[in-house]
Amino acid sequence: MDFRYLPMTQEDEKEMLQTIGANSIEDLLADIPASVRDKGTLKEVGIPLPETDLIRTLSKLADQNMNTKQYPSFLGAGIYDHYAPAVVNHMLLRSEFYTAYTPYQPEISQGELQAIFEFQTMICELTGMDVANSSMYDGITALAEAAMLACAHKKKKTIVLSDGVHPESHDVVRTYAKGPGLNVETLALRDGETAIEQLDAIDDVACVIVQYPNFYGRVEDLQALADATHAKGGLFIVSANPLALGLLEAPGKLGADITIGDCQPFGIPQSFGGPTCGYFTTTKALMRKIPGRLVGQTVDEDGKRGFVLTLQAREQHIRRDKATSNICSNQALNALAASIAMSAFGKQGIRDLAVRNLQTAHALKKSLKAAGFRIVDDGPSFNEFVVELPIDAEEASRQLLKAGIIGGLPLGTYDANRNREMLVCATELRTKEELDQFVSALGGLTHA
């Protein structure tokens, strides 16, 4: 059988073995103990598929999923259905980007390095922070890394998470905390907002982490939370939806020491939750503690401007067990997608897009109220909020599917006490017709 990715001919093999002075490829493997040699187990992987059959096989699997291009979706909760301008995918398919690796050789990697430098700049602009790195796996592991940084920097052992932070962030932070044996405490919400006075009862606080807008959609008063955190001697960490920052005040102006988040709203498909692209920003004071790759501007031998990976003394390949983080691969290609999308939106476009999201969700909130639904902890929000349903929200979600609608998130998924609540999201892609259809389908539930 010939394989289109394997160029070696029998003649090549013979010539190469001759040069090596070996009789067969088996000679090259003779140092492997016979007892550990594989006995043909790969047969279980199946037969090779030609491209046509591969497409048929994978398309069949893809078609078993209900996708958001076909069905209107009201799901958010960290992954959003936004439009990626066509230029994003076309530029991403420039294979000089996607078939390269980390830009270790700056002379032939200026494209990637400059793209990252521009990404870092855009993220600093959005967040109002001094320094951004080249990307993290996703917003949630970026949050966990921020918590670890805070504990190491403050030499304290307690991470404080608002219950307004994504439940999966809580989960991931708890897993990370088990490594060095850190404590995780939580702050409950009151009327939809972090009840910060609970901080008084917690000791050894390295950081307080909040989400902006919070998981349930509410926009909280960051400055007040920052002040309380700083009074307690902790770092104030904000997990911010970068699209919301097109309209909302930047965390950097509201006392954030670290702002992290996920760039998925910018040109990155939902892709079943990954890969997305975490961003990580902080102040000048903490610049040398930042995890991951950083790109800096410099000059070449002729004084010509160029870019390099810099401050690498923080990183695992230099510092090994003393590194600030173990991260190596990041999400560079998705950072590129986000940069292209942000450049497409531009200064005015990002604000307009944020406003349209706000307007669409606001319109949905209004119609739901008019239809008699209660909005839970109603208050300032962006493109998400919580609605109370007359029946179990998971059951509602199933009924909505049958009506051709991907409903919001049943909150019972994360909190059994909230099983009649649904976290709904309406982005710029939802039309009035779809909102009406959704409200009417939810109305149908009440009589079910």
Among 198, 283, 413, 437, binds another protein (CB under 8 A): 413
**Which tokens go with 219?**
């926009």
Binding mask 362-391 for another protein (x = CB under 8 A): xx----------------x-----------
Residue 249 binds another protein, judged by CB under 8 A: yes
Question: Rule CB under 8 A: which of 264-303 touch another protein?
Answer: 269-275, 277, 287, 293-303
Residue 411 binds another protein, judged by CB under 8 A: no
Binding mask 297-336 for another protein (x = CB under 8 A): xxxxxxxxxxxx-xxxx-xxxxxxxxx-xxxxxxxxxx-x
Cα separation, 385 vs 394, in Å, equals 17
Cα separation, 260 vs 433, in Å, equals 35
3-state class (DSSP) for residue 175? helix
Of the candidates 140, 141, 98, 106, the one whose C-alpha atom is nearest the C-alpha of residue 332 is 98
Residue 79 binds another protein, judged by CB under 8 A: yes
Question: Rule CB under 8 A: which of 134-173 touch another protein?
Answer: 134-135, 137-141, 148, 166, 168-169, 171-172
Q: Smallest distance from the beta carbon of 390 to another protein, in angstroms?
A: 19
Residue 231 binds another protein, judged by CB under 8 A: no
**Which tokens go with 310?**
């810099």
Give whichever of 162 and 232 is closer to another protein, judged by the CB atom: 162
For 288, residues 6+ apart whose C-beta sits below 8 A from its C-beta are: 311, 314
Give whichever of 155 and 347 is closer to another protein, judged by the CB atom: 347
Residue pair 172/141 in contact (Cβ under 8 Å)? The answer is yes
For residue 158, list its beta bridge partners. 183, 205
Question: Rule CB under 8 A: which of 22-41 touch another protein?
Answer: 22, 25, 27-33, 35-38, 40-41
Q: Smallest distance from the beta carbon of 200 to another protein, in angstroms?
A: 25
Q: Smallest distance from the beta carbon of 65 to another protein, in angstroms?
A: 4
Cα separation, 346 vs 361, in Å, equals 23
Give whichever of 81 and 232 is closer to another protein, judged by the CB atom: 81
Residue 344 binds another protein, judged by CB under 8 A: yes
Q: Which DSSP string do the residues of 376-411 spell out, in sequence order?
A: ET--SBSSEEEEE-SS-HHHHHHHHHHTT-B--EEG
Residue 435 binds another protein, judged by CB under 8 A: yes
Among 125, 204, 377, 392, binds another protein (CB under 8 A): 125
Among 55-63, 198-206, 225-233, 440-448, the segment contacting another protein (CB under 8 A): 55-63
Residue 415 binds another protein, judged by CB under 8 A: no
**Which tokens go with 68?**
């958001």
Binding mask 95-124 for another protein (x = CB under 8 A): xxxxxxxxxxxxxxxxxx-xx-xx-xxx-x
Cα separations in angstroms, 35 against 18, 29, 31, 392? 28, 13, 11, 57
Backbone phi and psi for residue 296, each to the nearest 5 degrees, phi listed first: -125, 155
Cα separations in angstroms, 41 against 33, 46, 123, 234, 355? 17, 10, 48, 54, 57
